[in-house]
Structures are given as structure tokens and as C-alpha cells.
Amino acid sequence: MKSRTVITLWAIAILLGITAYLVKFQGNDEDTTQTQLSPGQNIIEQLPIRSITGVTLSQGDQSTQLVRLDQDGGQVWGVAERDNYALNYELLRNLLGALGELEVTQGYPSSREHYGRFGLKTESDTPSDVALRVTMTGKDGDTIAEVFLGKYSGTSRTGGRFLRITGDGSGVYAVGETFPGITASPKDWLNKEFLKIEHIQSIALSAPADPEFKPWKLVRNPNSDGTPNPKGQFTLEGMTDQEIMKLTSTNPLLNIFSYSAFKDILSEKEAATSANPDAKLKRQALITTSSGLTYTLDFWPQNEQPKDPNSDPRLPGVQPTYLLTIKVTSGNKETPAPGIFKDRIYQISQSTISPLQKKRSDFVTSKNKPSVTTPPVHAPAQR
């Protein structure tokens, strides 16, 4: 091969190498700059969390407005759709903290017509294509920042999520945060820990609209010197000489409402519409404590919800739910009655109230009840 041919081939090879290098590196650089933000940059630069006084979350037909309120000389957060009832502040803190530190994992240039692929549309006939909009506002009502949360970017809910930012039309972004528990449903934002009754001294149950129901009252046995015993056993008040307590019948009531949670808060109209119309099913419990508080609890069942026909038939049916109102009075000036329960109608699960759904006969048995005896066993005679 002539030297001129060799030089020509080498020149062509070098030119191809340079072209490949430029295509590879300049092409990647072009791809990474097609979105306004690059990997590693903050989604929201310097989010002023302390200046945020309202957060609105909306998705489809659902919407929740979280508001910061001035109350008792301080500031608290409430859920507007639930008459400003206290919210789960830890959930809100996690949301704002994550948005303040969130970094881009990858940018994806995309036009508006392709937002549905990422679950980032504002509206669509396909629910999975609609984003969860999070709008943060300041004291004057102006929008501080707004993001749209879309589908999960990984193969599971631990992989990350797609989102886009209002004012950034360059595309969408993948981030490493999944935002667990963040929804547009008001009930998901409520502080569900609501009733904690300590040092119970007595529990009484009645059925105001059911004359056939036999009311009962349990009183905790005091110490030998007559002082209240917070760990004493319950005794049924008004037992006859022929009745004795069933040993374990009161165990579920010893620490009832020590830690309890509700499902939602309903308006009077919602409660009236969903309540079981049979007034005889309504119960009233009076619970007194050694600190001088008296809790009056009225509870009644809601109409049973039909099981979803499309659900797995092997799964249990929907658990019944109850409505509950709470009134607290205090006979001790040093122990003021909490006012958080006033005019609230709580929706609770059956398991929360089930220890109170007892009859008087569940606590006692008759002394003269015949015992079960085993017939004598005769050994066969030896031969």
C-alpha cells in the first residue's frame, strides 16, 4: 500500500473519531440543557417555609386547604374543610421539608400534550393521568410556589416520582421522593389522635330510646383506705346476692380510650344522612375519672356500606362505622375540661367502640348456675 493511501486512511479515521467524540459529548450536553433544571439542582430554590400560611392540595374532584391560624397567642394549622380542625402537623412538615430540599434526579423535555404519560395533567378522563397539585401561598394570598406531583418514576412506590413546576414549561422532572401519605382528601390530613381518658373511676352505659335495654354501671374498686385505685378491677353496681362477676368480662374496659383515633369528622347534614335511622341503637356512656372529669359519649351506627362488587371476594366486608359526639365537664377547678370536642361529630370504627357494646348480662353470672360435671368413668373388670 502506498504511503499516500495510508495517510489518507489515517486522516479519515481521525476525522471519524473526532466526529464521534463531538456527537457523543456535545449531544449529551445538549440533552441535559433541554430542561430548565439540571440533575442535582433544587426543584424550588430557597423555599421560604416560614412565610407559608396556606397549602392547597387538589386532584380531580378532591381538594384540601390547610391554613395557618392565630390561636391563643400562637399559631396552629387546621383543615379548612373540617372547620379548621387540627391537622397532622408532622405530615405537613414532611411535605414542606421535602419540597424545600428536593433535587432533580433527571430532567425530561416534554410538551403539554405528553404530560399524561407522567401523570401530570391538570384534568383528564383517565384518573391516573391527573396530577396532585400542591399550591403554597403567603399571608397576602399570593402564590409562593406550586408543583404538580405525578406518577411514581420507579418500578415501585419507593423509586421516586415525576413532577413539574408552575412557570417551568421546559419539561418534567424525576425526583427521589415519593411523598407518602400526601393526598387531596381532607380526612387524610386530620390529627386522628383525639381522645385519651386516663384514671377511669366509673363507666355507665344506657340506651335512652330503648326501654328494653338494661343500663349498667361499673365502678373501679378503691384502695383499702378508700382512695382511688387507677389499677383496680371493676365491679358491677347493683349486683344481687345471687350474682358474681365474670372474671375477665371487664378487661377490655380497663384502659378504654387510653389511645384512640377517629376516621373522619362529619357535618350535621352528613351525619344525619348517613346515620342508621333506628333510634334504639343509640347509646350513651358516662365515664368519670379521678381528676374530676366526666365524659359524656353518645354513639350510634351509620348505615352499612355495601361491599365493592369489584373487590376480591376473599377479602372481608367493610367494617361498620359509628358516629360519636363527646362532651366533657369538670367538677375540679384545677382540671379544666378540654374544648376541642365541642360540636364535633366523629366517625369511628367499630373496633374503637366495641368494648362499650356490652349488656349487663355480659358481666355477671348466677351463683346457682349448675356446673358441668363429668360422668364417672368405670374401668373394665379384669378377666
Can you spell out the DSSP letters for 283-297? EEEEEEETTSEEEEE
Q: What is the pLDDT of residue 230?
A: 79
Using 50, 70 and 90 to split pLDDT, how confident is the model at 90? very high
Q: Is residue 322 pLDDT above 80, yes or no?
A: yes
Q: State the average pLDDT over residues 248-267.
A: 91
Whole-angstrom CA distances from 247 to 233, 252, 323 are 10, 12, 31
Q: What is the pTM (predicted TM-score) of this model?
A: 0.80
Q: State the average pLDDT over residues 13-25.
A: 42
**Burial (CB count <10 Å: 0-12, 13-18, 19+), residue 68:** middle
* Contact yes or no for 51/138 (Cβ under 8 A): yes
Q: Which of 148, 99, 154 is nearest to 120 (CA)?
A: 148
Whole-angstrom CA distances from 319 to 157, 316, 349 are 27, 8, 7
3-state secondary structure of 82: helix
Q: What is the pLDDT of residue 336?
A: 66
Q: How far apart are CA 368 and CA 268, in angstroms?
A: 49
Cβ neighbours around 82 below 10 Å, total: 19
Helix (H) or strand (E) run with residue 322 in it: strand 321-330
Using 50, 70 and 90 to split pLDDT, how confident is the model at 380? low
Q: Which residues contact 300 (CB under 8 A, 6 or more apart)?
A: 275, 276, 281, 282, 283, 322, 323
Q: State the average pLDDT over residues 104-123.
A: 94
Where are the domains positioned within the chain?
49-184, 193-306+317-366
Q: Is residue 369 pLDDT above 90, yes or no?
A: no
Using 50, 70 and 90 to split pLDDT, how confident is the model at 136? very high
Average pLDDT, the chain: 86
Q: What is the pLDDT of residue 247?
A: 85
Across 14-23, 189-198, 270-279, least confident range: 14-23
The string of pLDDT tens digits covering residues 52-61 is 999 999 999 9
Using 50, 70 and 90 to split pLDDT, how confident is the model at 255? confident
Q: Which of 123, 121, 102 is nearest to 173 (CA)?
A: 102
Q: How far apart are CA 161 and CA 172, in angstroms?
A: 10
Q: Is residue 30 pLDDT above 50, yes or no?
A: no
